[in-house]
Amino acid sequence: MHSDTSGPAGNRVPISEQITPAGRRIEHDSFAIIDAEAGPHAYPPQEWALVRRLIHASGDFDFKGLTRFHPGAIEAGIAALVAGHPIVTDVEMIAVGLSRPRLAHFGIGVHHFIADADVIRQAQAENGTRAVQAMRKAWRLGLLEGGLVAIGNAPTALLEVIRLVREEGSRPGLIIGMPVGFVAAAESKAALGQLKAVPWILTEGRKGGSTLVVAALHALLALAEARDEGR
Sequence-separated contacts (24+) of 127-134 with Cβ below 8 Å = 128/156, 129/154, 129/156, 129/157, 131/90, 131/156, 131/157, 131/160, 132/156, 132/157, 132/159, 132/160, 134/90
Residue 151's H or E segment, with its range, is strand 148-151
Going 74 to 163 to 83 to 13, the CA torsion angle's sign is negative
- Asked if residues 209 and 95 have their Cβ atoms less than 8 Å apart, the reply is no
- Among 2, 28, 41, 56, which one carries the catalytic annotation? 56
Asked about 56 being catalytic, the answer comes back as yes
Tell me 6's DSSP state: B
For 108, residues 6+ apart whose C-beta sits below 8 A from its C-beta are 81, 84, 85, 86, 87
Query: Which residues touch 122 (CB under 8 Å, ≥6 apart)?
Result: 133, 136
Positions marked active-site: 56
